[in-house]
Structure 1
Amino acid sequence: MIIVEEVQNEKQKKEFLEFPRRLYQRDKNYIRPLDKDIEAIFNPEKNKFFRNGECQRFLFKNKKNETVGKVAVFVNKLYTQKQPTGGIGFFDCINDQETANFIFDYCKQWLKARGMEAMDGPINFGERDKFWGLLIEGFIEPLYGMNYNFPYYVDLFENYGFKIYFEQLCFSRPVFGEVSRVFTLMHQKHKRNPAISALPMKKNNLEKFARDFTEIYNKAWAAHGEGKQMEEMKVLKMFKTMKPIINEHISWFIYENEKPIAMWMNLPDLNQWFKYLNGKFGPIEKLKFLWYKKFRKNEKMVGLVFGVIPEWQKKGIDGYMIWEGTQHLRKHTDFTMTELQWIGDFNPKMIKIAENLDTTVTRKLATYRYLFDRNKTFERHPVL
């Protein structure tokens, strides 16, 4: 017998956060997400997706009142799919198919009652940049904001009937790895051009870099795949939020006569510091974070955005930027590895760009889909 509890009071909220800690306590690669990051997702005052959606969390307990699973289930009117599709996320479960099936069945009925015909998971009740997908390959320490799970979760999902809607590919390369000869040749070529210059991002001039970022992004990515136009003020706000963790040696902008033409944005992987805080970020943990940030080497950086405006694409300016930035960060930082944020397998253009950066796939996640009508033909995410 499984008992279902909707998460409503503080005790239940705490259990929703603590259950994964107990479940993964012997897994050396598990890094507990910050409690505040999880709780913000389920706070209507902090998560704008509540304006167009509904979300509930549930705990699942055995007859001994021990938690054996948890999940969040939600609908989002802006999540437009071929059929009305809801989502499940923040799924954790013991290694037991019957328990997982009970949880999935419960989610299915909850979504059916709200007019849904399918469910995707594990996904976020929010943007795709955090807590999206099930880890299926590369069971190593997760990046900040990235889902992590046991390998047996794949069986729990697939045995129930979920199918992969799209794969999420994470590309990495060692900072001190050999750089493509093409990149070094392009660097030599553009280095001779006095109109071309490279600048690392500086904290004391965020207004300029927010303006330049917005211009490059909107030209390079807005019409590329599922890109959206960005507003300069929103970018500036984002940069100011990021300011405490910006490393001035690892984000680069390229200019032609002061006109921004390319950018390569990176941040330190915060999990390399957060993994010592056990999910907490109160006053004491903030002091610990500052101490670790100052004295504990962080050897992993995360590639956020790489973009070149259309008129400079396929001219080798990316090679110039990568070699210019790499030479600098090798001298001035402790980073030994860079990993790009995931790219969907439905986006071959982006994958080609990642491959051209001399990267290799080091982990994969998957967004699964389950159609309630089992006779309906399953279709993967369309290629962009």
Structure 2
Amino acid sequence: MTSRTDCRPDTTDAVTVTAVRTRRDWSTFAKVPFTVYRDDPNWIPGDIADVGSMLRRPSEKTRSRMTSQAFLAYRGRRLVGRIAAIADLVFISHYEQQTAYFGYFECLDDREAAHALLDAVADWARGRSLSAVVGPMSPSLLWSAGVLVHGNDIPPLVGMPHNPPYYADLLESWGMTSIKEFHSFYHDDPHTLVQSPPFARKYAMGQRWKARSSVVVRPMNPATFDEDVAKLRVLYNTAFASFWGFTPVEPDELDALVATMRPILDPEIVLFAELDGEVVGFVMGIPDVNRAALGAVRSRFGIVRDLHTIARWRGPGGRRHRTHVRLDMMFVDPSCPDKGTSALLIFELFQRIHDRGYDSIEAAPVLADGGWFRSVRASYPVDPSRTYRIFSREIG
């Protein structure tokens, strides 16, 4: 793990922050993580949401939803950090809150440099009449959000952030405060877990409910993949309408997110619940490709990393990497009359994970003040395996 001493640069030189404008600047922006994580054995190169398509060369549709500016920090001539200021125009319109996001934040353990980067975001935000800074959002809640504040010493979960343990200190020292926390919960063989004494009553109730329910649970069909994704988007926008930070997801946004996952998806653990032919619920298990990516080359060329990871994932011996599953995106239409639909999805997913030979599962992100968290703690009072935190500061 990277130590605080390793990450502290010589502070005799002054800190300067420059806006990212040129092709060379963007190349430098991509190099920052390789400096920050050079001694971290758990780091996996690559941003969850691609810098090129989100910040550098956004599509016309992306530009209609979001505007941004990236910055680099130097101490003297040494590169020490980066950040992106983001105005999510959909969020601002949806909530009528004049909020700027910061994201893609990476920095050495250097308070002055971190503060200078955050100051640049604040100045950019004020110039657009925005009065608060929230993050990290890279670039939004749909993709990657939060600072990892517990669980930094283990390999990251697929699709979730990873960072040095001092990041929260850097943000708090700038005056930011926590506004939301998310957790992840790990367990070996979840099918066995739900049959254990703490869950025995709920499992029995679930089996009785399944016997009389009209809900049909089915896996994703590769032959109708695009149709299933379109149904998923409609259900997502309905089910998450009251979720903290929610903004309606457009077809191209979900298509881009799904495209990053499709090469590793196991359709048998991507489940839809249907009632009278209509999709009313969804849960997704994502095989944790990070088990393979952790041993792949740390090339600065993404295509090289991806090809090596896929070779380790699908090649001879790849099965030993496909043992862990992330449980993500579990939701049910609030108007669904069958109130046991979520339980049916979970029990079916756990059974399939067991039958397909996966060894463990990790549910993430679980909102700390949400109903899911309270339900988990009531039935199974285990400590979270990881905790992620989103910060905010008024700048008006």
Are 1:117 and 2:136 counterparts?
no
Q: Which residue of 2 aligns with 1:104?
A: 118
Are 1:348 and 2:361 counterparts?
no
Are 1:298 and 2:319 counterparts?
no
2:393 to 367, 370, 376: 370
Q: Which residue of 1 aligns with 2:3?
A: none
Query: CA–CA distance in 1 between the matches of 2:18 and 2:274?
Result: 56
Deviations 1:317-357 (A, max 9, x none): 433332233223212133412322343x4x53354455578
1:30 to 43, 57, 62: 43
Q: Which residue of 2 aligns with 1:148?
A: 162
**What are the within-5 Å matches in structure 2 for residues 184-333 of structure 1?**
184-193=203-212, 195-206=214-225, 209-210=228-229, 213=232, 216-217=235-236, 220-222=239-241, 242-256=261-275, 258-275=277-294, 276-278=296-298, 280-282=301-303, 284-294=304-314, 295-296=317-318, 297-310=321-334, 315-333=339-357
Instruction: Please give the TM-score of this superposition, normalised by the length of structure 1.
Output: 0.80
Q: Which residue of 1 aligns with 2:8?
A: none
Deviations 1:299-327 (A, max 9, x none): 32222322334465674443333223322
Shift of 1:7: 2.0
Query: CA–CA distance in 1 between the matches of 2:257 and 2:354?
Result: 27
| Cα 1:238/1:250, change in 2 over 3 Å | same
Shift of 1:212: 5.5
Percent identity between matched residues is: 21
Shift of 1:293: 2.0
Q: Which residue of 2 aligns with 1:377?
A: none
Query: CA–CA distance in 2 between the matches of 1:357 and 1:208?
Result: 36
1:59 to 66, 72, 79: 72
| Cα 1:182/1:305, change in 2 over 3 Å | farther
Q: Which residue of 2 aligns with 1:19?
A: 32
Are 1:129 and 2:142 counterparts?
yes
Q: Which residue of 2 aligns with 1:337?
A: 361
Gaps of at least 5 residues in structure 2 are: 1-13
Query: CA–CA distance in 2 between the matches of 1:317 and 1:268?
Result: 23
SS of equivalent residue, structure 2 residue 157:
coil
The count of aligned residue pairs is: 368
One-letter amino acid of the counterpart of residue 99, structure 2? T
Q: Which residue of 2 aligns with 1:178?
A: 193
Shift of 1:20: 1.4
SS of equivalent residue, structure 2 residue 268:
coil
| Cα 1:293/1:227, change in 2 over 3 Å | same
SS of equivalent residue, structure 1 residue 169:
strand
SS of equivalent residue, structure 2 residue 29:
helix
Gaps of at least 5 residues in structure 1 are: 374-384
Q: Which residue of 2 aligns with 1:73?
A: 85
Instruction: Please give the TM-score of this superposition, normalised by the length of structure 2.
Output: 0.78
Query: CA–CA distance in 2 between the matches of 1:227 and 1:372?
Result: 23
Contact 1:262-1:307 at 8 Å conserved across structures: yes
Shift of 1:89: 1.9
Contact 1:249-1:333 at 8 Å conserved across structures: no
Q: Which moved further from structure 2: 300-309 or 240-249? A: 240-249
Query: CA–CA distance in 2 between the matches of 1:313 and 1:368?
Result: 37
Q: Which residue of 1 aligns with 2:11?
A: none
Query: CA–CA distance in 1 between the matches of 2:230 and 2:63?
Result: 30
One-letter amino acid of the counterpart of residue 10, structure 1? R
| Cα 1:123/1:287, change in 2 over 3 Å | closer
Contact 1:190-1:317 at 8 Å conserved across structures: no
Instruction: Give the superposed CA RMSD.
Output: 3.5
